[in-house]
Amino acid sequence: MRNVETDQLRYFYGSLGNARMLDFAVLISNQEDLRSFLENICNFDMREKIERPDTKWVLVTIINIIFFVSLLPNIPIGGGVKLPSFIINNKGLHDLVKCCKGREYVDNLRLFRCLALFDDASLDCERATKDKFYKYWHEQKLNSNKFAGVTLRELIDVEDVFEINVVVYALELDDRFPKATVVQLSRKKYERTMCVNLHESHFSCIFDVSKYCQRYERPRCSEFWTSKHFHRHVRACDELYCIVLY
């Protein structure tokens, strides 16, 4: 800032307590949220938020901005959200928005519907879903009166209870074309493997990986793969080295 009377310049650094750009925290849970946030930031007039010592001080330039990002771990997943059309119309998954009678699900049991469908239950799978849920509830000795869902960390418990591997993907649009990003891999401890799609806090059941998506990405190595070659790649890729298999 510059003093209009003395031409003195002063530097004000950003901190958590001064000149906040946002009035409240913004939740970013997918790429679309991030794009929207960045677009809003680019169109934001920071001069409206500058706190001056008095009217003699005017803004000269903004040198830097600090963003504080907080990770929200262990958020329960299983409830319903409004899904985008490219997920609802996907030929390789059951979106699990509505039951076979057309009513929207209002509980947090979508992961257990995925388990029921994976075990060849029909889309009218409410009895099988509740059986799966009660088995998990009993073996985990849950005491809560209201089930909020399963966190990504708790998927390990789900795998052990049902003796199944669970792989989590997130389907997104990249330049108008869908891509699937690995959210969480399984420990490959069991013979059977179930794949699910995660959108915000909503699980959908993937029943045909080849129809689900043709482009797969694993963030740690930033490579794109077809569905055929992706799973071979994952077996050869670790934290430090990536063997490219085409």
Query: Distance between CA 34 and CA 48 in Å, rounded?
Result: 23
Tell which residue, 126, 101, 103, 99, has the closest CA to residue 115. 126
pLDDT range class, residue 80, cuts 50, 70, 90: low
Element (H, E) at 113: helix 110-118
240: pLDDT strictly greater than 70: no
pLDDT, tens digit, for every residue of 22-32? 766 777 766 67
Domains of the chain, first to last: 2-58 (no CATH), 85-213 (3.90.70)
The tens digit of pLDDT for each residue in 105-155 reads: 888 899 999 999 999 877 788 899 999 999 999 998 876 567 888 888 899
Phi, psi for 88 (deg, rounded to 5): -60, -40
Tell me the mean pLDDT in the region 168-191.
85
Q: d(Cα 153, Cα 27) in Å, to the nearest integer? A: 20
In this predicted structure, what is the pLDDT of residue 174?
Answer: 74
Between CA 97 and CA 24 the distance in angstroms is: 30
Mean pLDDT of 228-239: 50
- Alpha carbon distance 118, 207 (integer Å): 7
CB contact at 8 A, 211 and 176:
no
**Integer Cα distance of 22 and 178 in angstroms:** 31
Look at residues 206, 136, 211 and name the one whose alpha carbon lies nearest to residue 168: 206
Q: Cα separation of 157 and 91, whole Å?
A: 29
- Comparing 9-23, 88-102, 182-196, 198-212, the range with the smallest average pLDDT is 9-23
pLDDT score recorded for residue 31? 64
